[in-house]
A = this chain, B = another copy of it.
Amino acid sequence: MTEATAVDLDFGDDGLIPAVAQDADSGEVLMLAYVSREAFERTRETGRAHYYSRSRDELWEKGATSGNVQTVEEVRVDCDGDSLLYVVDQEGGACHTGYESCFHRTADGEVVGERVFDPDEAYE
């Protein structure tokens, strides 16, 4: 993998670009998070999904604490260069609540996703 980027990325006024993580096998949309240029480069260098936490204001390797890492198969860029798609192999579940996907509820509050790990054990 190389750091060279053929597609220009628009990191916006705040230096962040939204990234969607999708499970490479199931096609499930796992989460949406934000990526700084450094997070993007670390993702490309390591093959592990990195993001930038807006609440903690820091670079963040997904799964560094929980073990639920994302191995990145492909990074895609949208037509405007202002959003990313990480196609990943997800270890365990993507959601800190224990669900496979952060999008495990409908807007009406119905749970439609699957719980795949116990968050109390993962984040002790």
Taken residue by residue from 34 to 71, chain A's Cβ proximity to chain B (1 for < 8 Å, 0 otherwise) reads as 00000000001000000000000000000000000000
- The A interface is mostly helix, strand or loop, or mixed, namely loop
Query: Within A1-52, which residues are at the interface with B (CB < 8 Å)?
Result: 2, 4-7, 9, 18, 20, 22, 26-29, 31-32, 44
CB–CB B79/A95 < 8 A: yes
Taken residue by residue from 94 to 110, chain A's Cβ proximity to chain B (1 for < 8 Å, 0 otherwise) reads as 01110100111111111
User: Is A75 an interface position by the 8 A CB rule?
Assistant: yes
Counting contact residues on chain A (CB < 8 A from B), the size range is 35 or more
CB–CB A6/B108 < 8 A: yes
User: Is A116 an interface position by the 8 A CB rule?
Assistant: no
Among B32, B74, B78, the residue within 8 A (CB) of A31 is: B78
